[in-house]
Amino acid sequence: MEISSIAVDESVSTVFPPEQLRDALTDIVDVAIIDASADSLEPYDAVVTMAYHESYLEGVDWIHSIQAGVDRFPFNELREQGVILTNSSGIHGPAVGETVAGYMLSFARRLLPAVKSQTQWEWSPPAWDDAYTLADERCCIVGLGTLGRGIVDRATALGLDVVGVRRSGDPLDGVRTVYTPDDLHTAIRDSKFVVLAVPLVDETRHLMSTEEFATMRDDTILINVARGPVVDQAALVDAIEVGELGGAALDVFEAEPLPEESPLWEFEEVLITPHCAGFTKDYYQNVANLVRENLAHIDAGEELVNRIV
């Protein structure tokens, strides 16, 4: 395979200006910005994108996703057409880890109600027993890949008692106990924070639903930085309404943008962010570094980094 020209799809503008990525790559390869929903891919060997378009099946040899999640891409069809798919796994750990730390601090130090009070010009200190510190609180991180490890590092730095869930059950530095998915309920049962950092696959769709919420403590804070459908959103609303959970911090949703009519907007103890946990001013450069690395691997006839298909 030879890559002499790369298209940057306009869909990356959700995260950063496509011009930034183009300019970071032009010294090693021909790069153009396109709208893959309208423009022909015939002149290009590869595309860097956030969205998926059917034209990718016929137009390019290599697709690079700027996200780690690739559930939108049709793996079987890509294999049949001989199209390579790589993702950006590994670049989001620090940003997402800091975002999760921010979520946990917001709940522990009662920053969310403070901000809401500020918008109403209200002086409303929390109740004497409402705020707490994170040290020694139990945090269960479901998914200990590169994303999860970024969260582990920040959680342990804040003094949390970290347990985790991963398919292999293999131990990980900073995680006191690692459970397998078969022991998910044991892992989440006594956790103040349950953080979701798993990919969306058949096994993780609605991983958190009615039974799981009933298993958690009634003051547990659910944090989702994985994919929206990992959580049964209707069951989550029900659990918060009846007091089965203490709250939630949600960066991803089953439908995005989150519809205006969603009850989640109204809950006092729900923190909503618009799928931006991994955002950083260096995002485009991190993606460019991965593309550069894989271009070098292609030239050397070596296996591509983060190859999915």
Q: Which residue has the tokens 């891919």?
A: 41
Rounded to an integer, what is the distance from CA 138 to the centroid of its chain?
Answer: 21
Q: What is the DSSP string of 80-105?
A: HHT-EEE--TTSSHHHHHHHHHHHHH
Catalytic residue among 64, 92, 149, 227: 227
What SS3 state is found at 222? strand
Is 206 one of the annotated active-site residues of the chain?
no
Q: Which is the catalytic residue, given 92, 110, 138, 275?
A: 275
256 is catalytic: yes
Q: From the candidates 77, 256, 302, 307, give the one annotated as an active-site residue.
A: 256
Closest CA relative to residue 207, chosen from 175, 174, 182, 243: 182
Q: Using alpha carbons, list the distances in angstroms from residue 111 to 97, 98, 116, 148, 222.
A: 18, 16, 9, 24, 17
Is 227 catalytic? The answer is yes
Q: What ranges in the chain are assigned the alpha helix state H? A: 18-25, 56-59, 75-81, 93-108, 111-119, 146-157, 184-189, 210-215, 233-241, 283-299
Phi, psi (rounded to 5 degrees) for 220: -65, 140
Amino acid, single-letter form, for residue 19: E
Question: Would you please indicate which residues are annotated as catalytic (active-site) residues?
Answer: 227, 256, 275
